[in-house]
Copies of this chain bind each other. A is one copy, B any other.
């Protein structure tokens, strides 16, 4: 599958080791097992998260698995080693990262759990959404849509989705948004209106720009939480009045996609139990021969294009 990060990498906007194979989201079949990897069979179908922690370093043992071995260290595939857009790929720390896929689930049903769904759900989880909370999600690309779904899964009541693309807002409603707002308007003022002046308990930033970051902050109630999963390409400004000069009891959390087989297994249970269906996010599927066309289409961010999958066979 092609992700936003892959496009960043192709364009040279995110620096990875040169000459690497792209790709960090895959379902595959085990062809060979390294020494000491136990509990698996050759031929077994597995899901591998974008983040492949070792589980054994200090960061992992402290629960910061995405920062395995150092800053952002859990992201290896397609970043510091060859990725998975290939016929065969080597999975690091396989013992901690191969999650067996139940037979009843198809590849398409689970593939998006590797990265964007795990990230989007993490946005909701790190926001510590409580039952009945009001949540606003800024940007409804694939990750924002999964954050919308995550907010719904965690029991939010009012879920306000903001985006500039009416097609994406339609999809947002499908994924659980109760109110949708076109971002060309004054979203913050509209959110204040929808919430009768209260502001939202949790605001999620899922794009990576100053504008959405600031709006998310301003949409919060005093004491609220801004949960950010966007990747930023320039410095951020925190307006002093948006945080009550530092006295507003706000929380800002940033999150890299969580990984590891336990999370993958747990999220797959949501699919098995038919609580989530991510397949509507696949708006386009291409055969491997047409991968260049696929990249171009995905990079275009055209309305109606969400996730583009590559099928190897």
What residues of chain A have their CB less than 8 Å away from a CB belonging to chain B? Answer: 14, 35-36, 54-56, 58-67, 70-73, 75, 93, 95-96, 121, 125, 130-134, 150, 152-155, 157-159, 178, 208, 221-223, 228-240, 243-256, 260-263, 265-270, 272-275
User: Given A70-B222, A158-B269, A158-B273 in contact, is the A248-B237 Cβ separation under 8 Å?
Assistant: no
Enumerate chain B residues within 8 angstroms of A159, measured Cβ to Cβ: 273
Given A157-B275, A222-B64: A246 touches B231 (CB 8 Å cut-off): yes
Q: CB < 8 Å: which of B56, B246, B248, B249 contacts A56?
A: B56
Question: Is A243 in contact with B254, judged by CB distance below 8 angstroms?
Answer: yes
> Closest CB of chain B to A169's CB: distance in Å?
17
A273 touches which one: B72, B96, B178 (CB < 8 A)? B178
Q: Which residues of B contact A65 (CB under 8 A)?
A: 61
Report the separation of the CA atoms of residues A235 and B266 in the bound assembly, to the nearest whole angstrom: 33
Residues of B within 8 A of A251 (CB): 251-254
Q: Give 13 CB contacts A-B under 8 Å.
A: A55-B60, A56-B96, A58-B262, A58-B265, A131-B267, A132-B266, A154-B154, A155-B270, A228-B246, A236-B238, A244-B256, A247-B255, A250-B253
Residue of A54, A70, A132 with most chain B CB atoms under a 10 A cut-off: A132
A71 touches B244 (CB 8 A): yes
Contact, CB under 8 Å: B263 / A254:
no
In the complex, chain B residues whose CB is within 8 Å of the CB of A263: 61
Instruction: State which of B62, B134, B157, B232 has its C-beta within 8 Å of the C-beta of A246.
Output: B232
**Residue of A233, A243, A254, A260 with highest tally of chain B CB at under 10 A:** A254
Question: Across the interface, do A245 and B232 meet the contact criterion of CB distance under 8 Å?
Answer: yes
How far is the CB of A55 from the nearest CB of chain B, in Å? 4
Contact across chains for B260 and A254 when beta carbons are under 8 A apart = no
